Amino acid sequence: MSEDQTVRHVCGISGGKDSAALAIYLKDVRKLTNVEYFFTDTGKELPEVYDFLERMESYLGTEIVRLGANRDFDHYLKLYGNYLPSPRQRWCTRELKIKPFERWIGDSQAVTYVAIRSDEPAREGYISTKSSIRAVFPFREDGVTRADVFRILEETVGIPAYYSWRSRSGCYFCFFQRRGEWLNLKKVHPDLYESAKQYEKTDPVTGKTYTWIQGLPLSELEAQDRPVFDGVLARSVKPKSWQDQLSTVAVRTPEMEAVLNGDGEDEGCLICHL
Ligand code: SF4
């Protein structure tokens, strides 16, 4: 693929820390002025993600193009036989993230900037199935690490607010979230937790249950577990740094430790969570 003016340069922003830092890096360090930024919107993202996108647009001084699927999540849920998506049946990513992106690229030749860091093990996930799209990895090329990512964000747009209670971006009902994060969702966004519960069903004929966590309906999860934190929510106290944000969580959960330690970040998919 020749590097000429007809090649589009695109960078997906998921609402997560790495892709946000990469967009800032491309602007401030690589001094690229021709990058098209995009966000694939499932319509089920966390409110914090939409707020963060606005901050990003303001900092980048350019629009982040919102890409949407032709039909919404509920349509595809029906299409897939009411099977809730899961790590093994990730139709949500395919229908609501990948296809809109590939439609947007169309027949263009494109370079896509991917925010995999230099300190990460090899990650699997979608980059592109089209030969006309070439992925490049500026953080790997330049030795940018997790600590650098947090520094870039702290010095510019700040850390996305949901990091005080959840370890990654994505849909509010994302099945990649851990049990403690589900309970944090209940605490922080009780309406969204209730909406997620509404998707769980038992087939009256077959008795088969459709739950986000295999074998554990959310109604049982909330009955089994105690709330994972009781403190003042991080976003209401305007913390100075991401460590401060996490320290405002009264009970440090394994999920919060994972965020601090960087563990478990290789789960999930690149297009949703990077
Ligand atoms: S964030 Fe989770 S639920 Fe949403 S599209 Fe991605 S994998 Fe599916």
- Residue 86, beta-bridge partner list: 89
Q: How confident is the model at residue 105 (pLDDT cuts 50, 70, 90)?
A: very high
69 has a pLDDT exceeding 50? yes
Testing ligand 1's pocket by substitution, the residue of 14, 40, 272 carrying the most ligand atoms inside 8 A of its CB is 272
Task: Determine the average pLDDT of the residues in 201-220.
Answer: 89
137 has a pLDDT exceeding 70? yes
* Closest C-alpha among 224, 219, 195 to residue 209: 219
Helix (H, G, I), strand (E, B) or coil at 65: strand
List Cβ neighbours of 182 (8 Å cut-off, separation of 6 or more).
193, 196, 212, 213, 218, 221
Higher pLDDT, 252 or 139: 139
CA of 12 to the centre of ligand 1 (A): 15
- Give the residue whose CA is nearest to atom 4 of ligand 1: 171
* CB 270 less than 6 A from any atom of ligand 1: no
CA of 79 to the centre of ligand 1 (A): 17
pLDDT at site 233: 37
Higher pLDDT, 132 or 24: 24
CA of 31 to the centre of ligand 1 (A): 32
pLDDT at site 234: 39
- Give the residue whose CA is nearest to atom 1 of ligand 1: 170
Domain with CATH 3.40.50.620 in the chain: 8-159
Are 135 and 128 within 8 A, CB to CB? yes
235 has a pLDDT exceeding 80? no
pLDDT at site 13: 95
- Residue 37, beta-bridge partner list: 11, 64
* CB 14 less than 6 A from any atom of ligand 1: no
C-beta neighbour count of 107 within 10 angstroms: 7
DSSP secondary structure string for all residues of 166-215: -SS-SBTT-TTS-HHHHHHHHHH-HHHHHHHHHH-EE-TTT--EE-SBTT
- Give the residue whose CA is nearest to atom 7 of ligand 1: 93
pLDDT at site 254: 44
Which CATH architecture best describes the domain 8-159? 3-Layer(aba) Sandwich (3.40)
